[in-house]
Structure 1
Amino acid sequence: MSGQGSGGNVIAALCNIFIPGLGQLVQGRVLAALLFFVVCAVGYTLWWLIIPAIIAAIAHLWAIVDAAKFRARF
């Protein structure tokens, strides 16, 4: 991937809209992808407790922004 705002980062951010963590997986960051997916999946599964759902929504938005602003360190 190039830098912030590159086409790859835009695609990764769009992937995260549908499945949290998918954008990080597209970028090759497996650990971050698993972390975002698990936090969002557990939080959305426990939606009736309100607080986990709010945490999941924040993590979901964070995953989108994180994928959009990612810069590879080479």
Structure 2
Amino acid sequence: MASQGSAGNVISAICNVFFPGLGQLVQGRLMAALIFAIVCVGGYALWWMVIPAIIAGVFHVWSIIDAATYKDYG
């Protein structure tokens, strides 16, 4: 990805709206994608316990912001 706010970052953020971690995967960041996906899917699966669902919601929003503001230093 080129820089923060680039078209690639916007596309990645939109991907994260539909499935957490997908935007990081599009950016080529496998570990971040796995962490966001596991925490969010696990938390949403335990929605009846309330607290895991809240944590999953926070991680979902964090994954969107992370994809949108990612800057590749490589």
- What is the match of residue 5 of structure 2? 5
Deviation >3 Å, runs of 4+: none
- What is the match of residue 43 of structure 2? 43
Q: Which amino acid in 1 is paired with 2:59?
A: A
Where does the alignment leave 5 or more consecutive residues of structure 2 unmatched? none
- How is 1:1-74 mapped onto 2 (pairs within 5 angstroms)? 1-74=1-74
May I ask how many residue pairs the two structures share in their alignment? 74
Taking the aligned partners of 2:19 and 2:31, their CA distance within structure 1 comes to: 15
Taking the aligned partners of 2:63 and 2:14, their CA distance within structure 1 comes to: 10
Taking the aligned partners of 1:72 and 1:30, their CA distance within structure 2 comes to: 14
Where does the alignment leave 5 or more consecutive residues of structure 1 unmatched? none
RMSD value, Cα: 0.3
TM-score (norm. length: structure 2):
0.99
